[in-house]
A and B are shown apart, each in its own frame.
Chain A
Amino acid sequence: SQKIEQNSEALNIQEGKTATLTCNYTNYSPAYLQWYRQDPGRGPVFLLLIRENEKEKRKERLKVTFDTTLKQSLFHITASQPADSATYLCALVPRSNFGNEKLTFGTGTRLTIIP
Chain B
Amino acid sequence: DTEVTQTPKHLVMGMTNKKSLKCEQHMGHRAMYWYKQKAKKPPELMFVYSYEKLSINESVPSRFSPECPNSSLLNLHLHALQPEDSALYLCASSQVGGSTKQYFGPGTRLTVL
The 24 listed contacts between A and B (C-beta, < 8 Å) are A34-B101, A41-B88, A41-B106, A41-B107, A43-B105, A45-B104, A46-B101, A46-B103, A51-B99, A89-B42, A99-B98, A100-B48, A100-B56, A101-B31, A101-B94, A101-B96, A103-B45, A103-B102, A105-B42, A105-B43, A105-B44, A107-B41, A107-B42, A108-B40
Within 22-61 of A, Cβ neighbours of B (below 8 Å) are at: 31-32, 34, 41-46, 49, 51
Q: Within the complex, what minimum Cβ distance (angstroms) separates B107 from chain A?
A: 5
Number of interface residues of A (CB under 8 A): 24
> How many A-B contacts if CB must be within 8 Å?
61
Number of chain B interface residues as a range = 20 to 34
**Alpha-carbon gap, A107 to B43, bound state (A):** 9
Which residues does chain A contribute within 8 Å of B92, judged by CB atoms? 43
**Does B101 contact A43, Cβ atoms closer than 8 Å?**
no
User: What is the interface of chain B, defined by CB distance below 8 A to chain A?
Assistant: 4, 31, 33, 40-45, 48, 50, 55-56, 88, 90, 92, 94, 96-107, 109
- Say yes or no: is A19 at the interface (Cβ < 8 Å to chain B): no
**Alpha-carbon gap, A44 to B33, bound state (A):** 13
